[in-house]
A and B are shown apart, each in its own frame.
Chain A
Amino acid sequence: MLKFTEEHEWLNVEDGIATVGITTYAVDQLGDLVFVELPEIGASLTKGGNAATVESVKAASDVYCPLDGEITEVNPAIVADPALVNADPMGKGWFFKLKLANAADADGLLDEAAYKELTA
């Protein structure tokens, strides 16, 4: 199940675990990324809290945690090569996996059609 937030994150939810990244729209707005900082595995995060930081040449931006949950995995490839986020934001450029505190929370997020409308 693919979901989106108004803060331009995507979530692919399977069995209560969401793989989270930032959208193509977000990447286009940010430009070439030069630095990514990811959360620690095991961290418990709340919806809207800072989960990660991305930096372009000119600015730093926060990536917010889309739902309450616990970080179970992060993607070290984007720390080693932030350009991977620009090249494949919805695939190889994923950020972290979040074990949702309440799997049903994801139902309240935007679906793909609603997100497309938001960024049209």
Chain B
Amino acid sequence: MDETAALKKTPLHALHVALGARMVPFAGYDMPVQYPAGVLKEHLHTRAAAGLFDVSHMGQIVIRAHSGRYEDAALALETLVPVDILALKTGRQRYGVFTDDNGGIIDDLMIANRGDHLFVIVNAACKAADLAHLQKHIGDRCEITLLDRALVALQGPRAQAAIAELWAGLCEMKFMDVRDVGLHDVACLVSRSGYSGEDGFEISIPADKAETVVKWLLEHRDVQPIGLGARDSLRLEAGLCLYGNDIDATTSPVEAGLEWAIQKVRRNGGARAGAFPGAARILTELDHGTSRRRVGLKPEGKAPVRGHARLYADAEGKTEIGEVTSGGFGPSVDGPVAMGYVPAALAAPGTQIFAELRGKFLPVAVAALPFITPTYKR
């Protein structure tokens, strides 16, 4: 069978093709990796103005307790995610991870309180497994529904101005707010969040109206379509994890430096401590630390150091200490940037280590994340 014929298409597929996108297979979908402007210019445009991303391949899931009460849905999801979901206020969202019994990460997700139910967004490549996981563990208490809607992100300093042409009220939204919004007559769900390090919005749109809304947004002179290539370089500069690269079932949230996503109430001494998969390991790591950590890595030369490059303590490549999990060229940094795992003793910013690249051992400095200054509207 022709491989491309089996790929799924998002509701914006025809528009991508019409805009001249280069399409590639990604997580089972035929997705735009770049438009004619190219990855470098798309990246810089997003940081300077506003970039529009199709992320409809991601999973949009409603979790509704049979009781109809938010609290019951929140407590059910808390059994799978080490996050304080109960105290999340209506119209707010936060980041979390699904953990497994070994304390590894089986996906990362955004979790929103929608008043009487939860709305979560999961990774495209994980969505079937996440749905099965939710159904298996909390399906007796909750109705789990995968929505058939488009999802787009508008990111960058001009994102607010562009959406404000359709709905002025969004200027009042703060980072991680979630609102039902009518963009003209189209019922959308808008959150002030994203995956670029910039202020911006994610907009869930009924599939049959997706192209209409996106065309409205693209009419704004500051808005350009941006492909998955620049999405990756933007999130890397912002220090954000890509599931499957920087985090997976072999990494715990503490090793990954995601302690900030585990609120006190779920930690030792908290009212709802533990009671999530892998709690024994994760709670111990929160108290006592881990032997390795995810860190930012700044190669000292100009050569990009990419995912799976091996890391060494010494310039001769004698003592291997870890691996790069994401790396490339950061257009806004104007140089190579990476992240990876190193022993805790070598995780302090400024520590010099070495990365193997084409048989050479290049000096790399452990660096604080993110590489850019985020512009979230807190």
In this complex, the interface size class of chain A, counting residues with CB under 8 Å from chain B, is: 10 to 19
**Cβ contact of B328, chosen from A31, A32, A37, A58, cutoff 8 A:** A58
Instruction: Specify the chain B residue showing the minimal Cβ separation from A55.
Output: B304
A57 touches B302 (CB 8 A): no
B331 at the interface (CB under 8 A from A): yes
Contact A35-B40, Cβ < 8 Å, known A57-B230, A57-B328: no
Report whether B39 and A58 are in contact in the complex, using a CB–CB cutoff of 8 Å: yes
Contacts of A32 in B (CB 8 A): 38-41
A56 is an interface residue with CB less than 8 A from chain B: yes
Complex: A32 Cα to B39 Cα, angstroms: 8
Residue of A nearest to B227 (CB): A58
Task: Scan residues 79-111 of chain A and give those whose CB is less than 8 A from a CB of chain B.
Answer: none
Of all chain A residues, the one with the shortest Cβ separation from B330 is: A57
Whether a CB of chain A sits under 8 angstroms from the CB of B306 is yes
Q: How far is the CA of A109 from the CA of B192 in the complex (A)?
A: 56
Given A57-B331, A58-B328, residue A35 in contact with residue B304 (CB < 8 A): yes
A93 CB, nearest partner CB in chain B, Å: 16
A75, CB-defined interface residue at 8 Å: no
Most chain B beta-carbon contacts within 10 A, residue among A32, A34, A56, A58: A58
| Binary contact track B304-344/A, C-beta < 8 Å → 1, others 0 | 10100000000000000000000011010000100000000
Give the CA-CA distance A56 to B328 in the complex, in Å. 9
Chain B residue nearest in CB terms to A53: B358
A35-B329 contact in complex given A53-B358, A56-B39, A60-B304, C-beta closer than 8 Å? yes
Contact assessment for A55 and B329 in the assembled complex, using a CB-CB cutoff below 8 Å = yes
| CB-CB nearest in chain A for B236 | A57
**Does B34 sit within 8 A of A, measured CB to CB?**
yes
Residues of B within 8 A of A53 (CB): 358
Check A57 against B40 for contact (C-beta < 8 Å): yes
A34–B41 CA distance with the chains assembled, in angstroms: 12
Question: B11-43 interface mask toward A, CB cutoff 8 Å, 1 = contact, 0 = none?
Answer: 000000000000000000000011000111101
Contact flag A55-B303 (CB < 8 Å), given A32-B38, A34-B329: yes
Instruction: Pick the residue among A35, A55, A58 that contacts B233 (CB under 8 A).
Output: A58
Given contacts A34-B329, A35-B329, contact A57 B39 (CB under 8 A): yes
Closest to B38 in A: A31
Binary per-residue interface labels of chain B (128-153) against chain A in the complex, 1 for a CB within 8 Å, 0 otherwise = 00000000000000000000000000
Q: Least Cβ distance of B159 to chain A in Å?
A: 21
Q: Is B232 interfacial (CB-CB < 8 Å)?
A: yes
Closest to B41 in A: A32
Q: How far is the CA of A55 from the CA of B302 in the complex (A)?
A: 11
| Contact assessment for B229 and A57 in the assembled complex, using a CB-CB cutoff below 8 Å | yes
CA distance A53 to B41 in the complex (A): 22
Judge whether B34 and A31 touch: CB under 8 Å.
yes
> Can you report 5 A-B residue pairs in the complex whose CB atoms are below 8 A from each other?
A32-B41, A35-B304, A35-B329, A37-B303, A58-B232
Interface residues of B (CB under 8 A from A): 33-34, 38-41, 43, 229-230, 232-233, 302-304, 306, 328-329, 331, 336, 358
- Kindly list 19 other residue pairs between chains A and B, CB separation below 8 angstroms, not including A35-B302, A60-B306: A31-B34, A32-B38, A32-B39, A34-B304, A35-B329, A35-B336, A55-B303, A55-B304, A55-B329, A56-B39, A57-B40, A57-B230, A57-B233, A57-B328, A57-B329, A58-B39, A58-B229, A58-B233, A58-B328
Which 7 A-B residue pairings sit nearest by Cβ, starting from the closest?
Answer: A32-B40, A57-B39, A34-B329, A31-B38, A58-B229, A57-B329, A55-B304
